[in-house]
Amino acid sequence: GSGFFQNNVNIHEINLANNMVDSKGCEYLADMLKENNDSLEVLDIAWNHVRTRGAVEIGQAIGVNTSLVKLDLAWNGFGVEGCEQLSKSLVGNCSLMELNLTCNRLNDEALKMILNALKENSVLQKLKV
């Protein structure tokens, strides 16, 4: 499982871009984000197979995580359904400053969800869609 990451307070950045991380991998990453709340600052899981279920898992995790400042989810094809949980979690997130959601089949509905969430989020400074 992800026990190593959950208990390791020395890891500040994880780059798993283009490593075929799927929704099951996202479950482990989400658990780590929920439990390791004070050291991990950057998570790059771009160009993977996150899809809807994985985006929901990561979205729920950023709702409670207080250390992550940069999250790259580009090129994961999660669409509107995955974006919904991410948007909900952005409302209460107090640490994420940079979020990359490019090339995820996001339509106007998804973009409206994100923009509505940002009305209540004063921390995010850089958003790529």
How many domains are there within the chain?
A: 1
Return the CATH number at 121.
3.80.10.10
Tokens, residue 71: 């999250």
In terms of residue numbers, what domain contains 119? 3-128
Enter the pTM of the model. Answer: 0.93
Can you tell me the distance from the alpha carbon of 114 to that of 119, in angstroms, rounded to the nearest whole number? 9
Can you tell me the distance from the alpha carbon of 20 to that of 34, in angstroms, rounded to the nearest whole number? 22
Q: Burial level of 83, CB count in 10 A (0-12/13-18/19+)?
A: buried
pLDDT tens, the chain, 129 aa long: 555 555 667 889 999 999 999 999 999 999 999 987 788 999 999 999 999 999 999 999 999 999 999 999 999 999 999 999 999 999 999 999 999 999 999 999 999 999 999 999 999 999 999
Q: Burial level of 3, CB count in 10 A (0-12/13-18/19+)?
A: exposed
Tokens, residue 123: 């921390």
